[in-house]
Amino acid sequence: MSDTTHAHPTPRDYWLIALVLAVITGAEVTVTYIDALDSVVAPLLIAMSAAKFTIVVGYFMHLKYEQRIYRNLFLVGLIAAPLLFGAVLFTFGVLVGD
């Protein structure tokens, strides 16, 4: 098992990461106002949201640099949630139709 290996980011890195997050947030808002992107706006928003989520968890929460046990504990919830609630949405949204 590989444990803590890499050096953590520097303050300059954190500011750059925050800048990237701010730019993605701006892009998210912008695409909702562009009519031409209506057909792809949902996947675009999900992709950008997932990117922000991954950046914050990886760099600000240091999960990228931490011991594997922390990542696995968090992944349990992260994997279980879409499976569990995807089943709920499918059941009530498609099967029951309400």
Partner 1 sequence: MSTDTLVQDHGGTHDVSHLRKVAMWVFLGSEVLLFGSLITTFLLYRTRIGDGPGAEEIFDIPFTSVSSFILLMSSLTMVMAHHSASRKDWRQMRVWLLATGMLGMVFLSGQVFEFTEFVEEGLTVTTSPFGSSFFVLTGFHGAHVAVGVLMLLATAFMSFTGRLRDGEGMNVEIVGLYWHFVDIVWIVIFTVVYLMQV
Binding mask 60-79 for partner 1 (x = CB under 8 A): xx-------xx--xxxxxx-
- Report how far residue 63's alpha carbon sits from residue 52's, in angstroms, rounded to the nearest whole number: 14
- Residue 22 binds partner 1, judged by CB under 8 A: yes
Tokens of 12: 């300059």
- Residue 34 binds partner 1, judged by CB under 8 A: no
Instruction: Name the residue type at position 87.
Output: A
H or E segment and range at residue 85: helix 68-90
Short-list 46, 56, 48, CA closest to 27? 48
The site for partner 1 (CB under 8 A) is made up of 8, 11, 14-15, 17-18, 21-22, 25, 28-29, 32, 41-42, 45-46, 48-49, 52-53, 56-57, 59-61, 69-70, 73-78, 80-82, 84-85, 88-89, 92-93
